[in-house]
Structure 1
Amino acid sequence: MKMQAPDNAAGPARGESMAFDSYERFRFSREGRVLTATIAAPGPVNGVDALLHDELARVFTDLQHDPESDIIILTGHGRAFCAGGDFDWFAEQIADPRKFRDIGWDAKRIVTSLLDIEKPVICRLNGAAAGLGATIALLCDIIIADENAVIGDPHVKVGLVAGDGGAVIWPQLIGYARAKEYLLTGDLLKAPEAARIGLINHAVPTDQLDAKVAEIVGKLQANPRWAVRWTKTITNQPLKAAVAQMMDASIAYEMMSNLTADRAEAVAAMRERRPAKLSGE
């Protein structure tokens, strides 16, 4: 199967479902019954702003309802997959905490809708995935990365609790000891190491990324559709139970961390490219 390069997708393809016409932070392209959704936010790293967050909360439901696709490929435009929150948006949330409070429901829905979608979702990890970007990548069913990509959850480095799903999915994939090390330090992993420890499925050379994605797509397409979809559905049941158990508290703790002095200082230091002067408050 020849994969269409997602970066060439300038908008909905001919015959695209009208459900996708309203998206501003995604591009969509089709090849047969494979639908590629490409995160395409302003800036070089596809940072999450208010609009992308809103679209992430509904895109997986729209993809589930799309009648013309059986397999979803999720990737990023340019050199990054999705490198976490946009710092201008962070500053807005610190200045007006109501803006953080107001995204709580959507934050849950991003996670639950990605686990609810029955169609297999392959993450084509073309570049850096951090914070929420890493959570989204890791909640996909099969993760295939460019060997030059990095992945991590540096919420703590910007003064936040890893409350948008990272604390749920990392321990499920690599165990609690390793997960806590990466979540508490905020360190990033290179893709080959992430594959070695089981965080992702494959890390391949850049020029082999699309071929590896196509190989996995072909294997999925060779199997009966409903057997594949419903096997995914039952395999996700323990993850959905963990999300139901943890996400309300996770988001609440993350909201509280947004109110701390060190949160404001960490973001200011990042934006000003200087060391943070943390007070412990």
Structure 2
Amino acid sequence: MSDPEYFGKYKTIAFERDDKGILIVRFHSDGGPVVYTKEHHTESVDAFYEIGKDVDNRVVILTGTGDSFINDARWDDPVSGPGDWEKVHREGKRMLRNLLDIEVPVIAAINGPATIHAELAVLSDITLASSDTVFADTPHFPGHTVPGDGVHVVWQELLGSNRGRYFLLTGQQLSASEALALGVVNEVLEPEALLGRARELAEYIIARPPLVTRYTRTAITVRWKRLLDEALGYGLALEGLGVLSLR
């Protein structure tokens, strides 16, 4: 199976697929741990779309690089008016929808702290975390920004309304063991065992007929799509108004 063109297209995302169709999608910055930028945001939108339309993908494994999933950011794109925010608003809606529109099961292998865009991982069908993983939402309310880009939906759904709102408002950090106890992740493993376990689960999934795995993914993401369709665009608009109020 030859690699499709999109495998070499993105500066912030690396792809590796075996002959069984298990695709590893690895976020990075210059080959190292992610320092999240507007380029990561933009490229994720198109990459998720291309992954989803590639029928040679049987299972997708999302992971980061090095000892963190996404734990640092450098967003140096100023917002001075509605036109500047429109790109963020447009991409923000499509990024999560394109992720959920991938019609094969998605496994997250969270390889360390996930304090920025952790929703990209915890929206997966199976969520594995290394023992040194920490979850938080640092860029939004702690950084004087409205948590409206989907985190307001995802964390209240996963943690429950009261715990989710507390998490977003206080900048709470959840350890891997706490996340396991709260149902945010399914398994906690030592870092060296993480990707191997993800592959093991992927092998289990692809032992089923292809259409069964595809249609199962479609069935189990219906609720997430509805929740995000209801609240994501509005949340992003509120986030943009909050950003503009600081200018």
TM-score (norm 1): 0.81
How many Å apart are 1:68 and its aligned residue? 2.5
In the alignment, the residues of structure 1 paired with residue 235 and residue 33 of structure 2 have an alpha-carbon distance, to the nearest angstrom, of 25
RMSD after superposition: 2.0
Q: Counterpart of 1:275?
A: none
Report if aligned partners of 1:144, 1:204 keep a CA contact under 8 Å in 2: yes
Q: Counterpart of 1:188?
A: 173
Encode CA deviations 1:54-82: one digit per residue, 9 max, x unaligned: 11111111111223320111111122112
Q: Counterpart of 1:143?
A: 127
Q: Counterpart of 1:230?
A: 215
Q: Counterpart of 2:2?
A: 15
Encode CA deviations 1:121-146: one digit per residue, 9 max, x unaligned: 111100111232x1111112111110
Name the SS for the 1:41 alignment partner: coil
Q: Counterpart of 1:220?
A: 205
Name the SS for the 2:129 alignment partner: strand
In the alignment, the residues of structure 2 paired with residue 252 and residue 113 of structure 1 have an alpha-carbon distance, to the nearest angstrom, of 19
Report if aligned partners of 2:52, 2:98 keep a CA contact under 8 Å in 1: no
Q: Percent identity?
A: 29
How many Å apart are 1:107 and its aligned residue? 0.6
Report if aligned partners of 2:64, 2:110 keep a CA contact under 8 Å in 1: yes
In the alignment, the residues of structure 1 paired with residue 57 and residue 216 of structure 2 have an alpha-carbon distance, to the nearest angstrom, of 18
| 1:148-163 → structure 2 map (5 Å cutoff) | 148-154=132-138, 155-163=140-148
Name the SS for the 2:69 alignment partner: strand
| 1:1-281 → structure 2 map (5 Å cutoff) | 15-32=2-19, 33-42=21-30, 45-83=33-71, 86-87=73-74, 89=75, 91-94=76-79, 98-132=83-117, 134-154=118-138, 155-261=140-246
In the alignment, the residues of structure 2 paired with residue 102 and residue 68 of structure 1 have an alpha-carbon distance, to the nearest angstrom, of 31
Structure 1, unaligned runs of 5 or more: 1-13, 265-281
Encode CA deviations 1:85-132: one digit per residue, 9 max, x unaligned: x23x2x432567743332211110011111111111111100111232
Report if aligned partners of 1:93, 1:100 keep a CA contact under 8 Å in 2: no
Count of matched residue pairs: 245
Between Structure 1 and Structure 2, whose CA radius of gyration is higher? 1
Structure 2, unaligned runs of 5 or more: none
TM-score (norm 2): 0.92
Name the SS for the 1:129 alignment partner: coil
| AA partner of residue 103 (structure 1) | V
Report if aligned partners of 2:112, 2:134 keep a CA contact under 8 Å in 1: yes
